[in-house]
Structure 1
Amino acid sequence: MTNYFIVPGLGNSGEQHWQSNFERSGENFKRIEQKEWDAPVCSDWIATIDETLKDYDLSTVVLVGHSLACATIAQWAIDNNRQIRGALLVAPSDLEATGYDFPAVGFSVPKTKIPFKTIVVASTNDPWVTIDRAKHFAEIWGSEFINIGDAGHINVDAGYTEWPEGMEILKRL
């Protein structure tokens, strides 16, 4: 059985967010709960992922990240040399963009290939990452890249509550 772990970004994912709906879709979906959602420290988020997964057979694990969690998952994999089944990385935030000024400490966009299968899903009108930067992240991470068109930040504000297409993409992992 595959174990899916929801990894929300900055601020967590609310009740209507597609990640929350994925989480409710089966008992093998669990959320990784960070201690600090609004002013996170990268090393804390990475440690929480590692601690959450320590008792699982990593070959059964798929991470489902959104926004800031995409870079966190990449950094976790690289720092800890972890091999999991795969990760779905949706709407990765461009932490190097001039407009990204959230109180997040120690986060960066890893510039190394992720050592397992990943899919990056991005939008042409995401306010937190241009489509070209998202494609660049996918290239350096060794990820499959999917452009879903005008979908904003692929969150509730952009209308992504139920996201059956996302669930279909997830099944590819």
Structure 2
Amino acid sequence: MAVLIVPSSGVKSTDWQARWESQLDFVERVEQPATRQPHLDSWLETLREHVGQRPNAVLVGHGLGATAIAHLAARHPDLPIRSAMLVAPVDPEARTAFAAGHASFGPLPCDPFPFPAFVVASRTDPNMDIERARIFANMWDAAFIDAGNAGHLDADSGLGDWPAGLDLLERLAAFSTPPRRFAERFPARFSLH
């Protein structure tokens, strides 16, 4: 199994994604261009190239990386993606300074994903209201995971190596084709600590 980590812009080197990358042989980071001023089209091209080199990979995106995965699924539904985990996706239409600086990533697509997916969202994420995240997960036919009050699920959230996230990744990697209503197979609340 290959896992492609799709980070957000400005990810701290001590976050769980960097730890997974350094500790697990099958994890590779997608290096995006211009992370300080990202543009969706260039990010999608880079991501598409990585998926082409690692067919059937599991994608794990955080923040803008998760948002980019949603756009990739809508624009390139035939790409050979095994599954995806979208952690704390950013809502480009949110009324935050961060979202306003990333207008090229919006609006979020509404098309169902052609692969199994989890959307992991926090009740205290400043970049995506949890109810809006739940609505998008439903439209994408992704299982929705309520992370409780965990902020943006980044280095500041205190997740460390995030073993519960690895457990989610293992569950997700077990699916090779999207079962009908994949989202119905998982509980709405899952302990992430």
Question: TM-score, normalised to structure 1's length?
Answer: 0.92
8 Å contact 1:83–1:115 — kept in the other structure? Answer: no
Aligned residues: 169
Relative contact order higher in (CA < 8 Å, ≥ 6 apart): 1
8 Å contact 1:6–1:30 — kept in the other structure? Answer: yes
Give the Å deviation of 1:53: 2.2
2:61 corresponds to 1:41: no
Q: Map residues 125-140 of structure 1 onto 2, 5 A cutoff.
A: 125-140=124-139
Give the Å deviation of 1:105: 4.7
Q: Which amino acid in the other structure matches residue 76 of structure 2?
A: N
Unmatched tracts of structure 2, length 5 or more? 173-193
Rounded Cα–Cα distance in structure 2 between residues aligned with 1:146 and 1:129:
14
Tell me what 1:110 maps to: 109
SS at match of 1:119: strand
Tell me what 2:81 maps to: 84
Tell me the alpha carbon deviations over residues 108-130 of structure 1, each in whole angstroms, 9 at most, x when there is no partner.
21111111000001111111111
8 Å contact 1:120–1:145 — kept in the other structure? Answer: yes
Q: Which amino acid in the other structure matches residue 63 of structure 2?
A: S
Rounded Cα–Cα distance in structure 1 between residues aligned with 2:7 and 2:130:
21
**Runs of 4 or more off by more than 3 Å in structure 1?**
none
Question: TM-score, normalised to structure 2's length?
Answer: 0.83
Rounded Cα–Cα distance in structure 2 between residues aligned with 1:149 and 1:103:
26
Rounded Cα–Cα distance in structure 1 between residues aligned with 2:25 and 2:168:
19
Unmatched tracts of structure 1, length 5 or more? none
Give the Å deviation of 1:104: 2.3
State percent identity of aligned pairs. 37
Give the Å deviation of 1:159: 1.3
